[in-house]
């Protein structure tokens, strides 16, 4: 929290180590120091209930009454981060190298393994491999297809896809 937002006498949620998932301790601000980065607090929760100490203002996370909302938002952010596909530049580079070396010079790949190329080229690759794969057509007649098993490209996640054979 910013030094100017902190009120003497008010209760706050504090973290000893400022990182997501660390426990919140209840403290009460006793005084603001002349230095803008520290305040004097008294711990109201265990461990060390009653301990008075100087802490950095960044350790005061939110007013105590807002801690449940803060923790819920933090949990949502963690869940979102875990569900998000991981970026893999090596995979994208490998895909583009293979596509270029086999003559598909206009193909590009995203870090999540989604390949973008002309639809007729993707149909030709599928035919040569003996596959029938779903292909999503963009408005400019390019196709997107994730090459990672079990992962669909962003455009395939919508209902606007076509299966080409």
Q: Give 69-108 pLDDT, tens digit per residue.
A: 999 999 999 998 888 777 788 988 998 898 889 888 888 8
Q: Residue 59's domain is classified under what CATH number?
A: 2.30.30
Residues 43 and 18 in one domain: yes
Per-residue buried b or exposed e for 63-102, using 16+ beta carbons within 10 Å of the residue's own CB: bbeebeeebeeeeeeeeeeeeeeeebeebbeebbeebeee
Q: Which of 83, 114, 148 is the last residue of a domain?
A: 83
**What is the pTM for the complete model shown?**
0.55
If pLDDT is split at 50, 70 and 90, which confidence band does 136 have? low
Residue 27 pLDDT > 60, yes or no?
A: yes
User: What would the mean pLDDT of 115-126 be, rounded to a whole number?
Assistant: 83
Residue 159 pLDDT > 50, yes or no?
A: no
If pLDDT is split at 50, 70 and 90, which confidence band does 145 have? low
**pLDDT tens, 105-114?**
888 888 888 8
Percent of the chain's residues with pLDDT above 90: 42
Residue 94: domain span: 89-163
Residue 162 pLDDT > 60, yes or no?
A: no
Mean pLDDT in the chain? Answer: 81
Q: Which of 55, 83, 111 is the last residue of a domain?
A: 83
User: What are the structure tokens assigned to 65, written together?
Assistant: 């009454």
Residues 148 and 131 in one domain: yes
Residues 7 and 74 in one domain: yes
Backbone angles phi, psi at 44, to 5 degrees: -105, -10
Backbone angles phi, psi at 111, to 5 degrees: -65, -15
Residues 68 and 15 in one domain: yes
- Total number of domains in the chain: 2
Q: Which of 59, 83, 107 is the last residue of a domain?
A: 83
Residues 60 and 95 in one domain: no
Q: How far is the C-alpha of 59 from the C-alpha of 16, rounded, in Å?
A: 6
Residues 94 and 152 in one domain: yes
Residues 13 and 69 in one domain: yes
Residue 43 pLDDT > 60, yes or no?
A: yes
Residues 77 and 99 in one domain: no
């Amino acid at each position: 929290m910013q030094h100017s937002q902190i009120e003497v006498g008010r209760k706050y949620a504090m973290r000893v180590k400022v990182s997501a998932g660390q426990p919140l301790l209840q403290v009460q601000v006793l005084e603001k120091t002349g230095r803008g980065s520290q305040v004097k607090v008294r711990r109201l929760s265990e461990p060390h209930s009653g301990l008075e100490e100087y802490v950095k203002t960044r350790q005061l996370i939110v007013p105590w009454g807002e801690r449940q909302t803060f923790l819920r938002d933090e949990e949502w952010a963690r869940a979102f981060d875990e569900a998000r596909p991981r970026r893999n530049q090596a995979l994208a580079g490998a895909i583009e190298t293979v596509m270029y070396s086999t003559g598909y010079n206009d193909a590009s790949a995203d870090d999540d393994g989604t390949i973008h190329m002309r639809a007729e080229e993707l149909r030709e690759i599928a035919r040569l491999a003996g596959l029938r794969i779903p292909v999503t057509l963009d408005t400019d007649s390019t196709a997107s297809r994730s090459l990672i098993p079990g992962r669909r490209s962003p455009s395939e996640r919508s209902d606007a896809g076509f299966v080409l054979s």
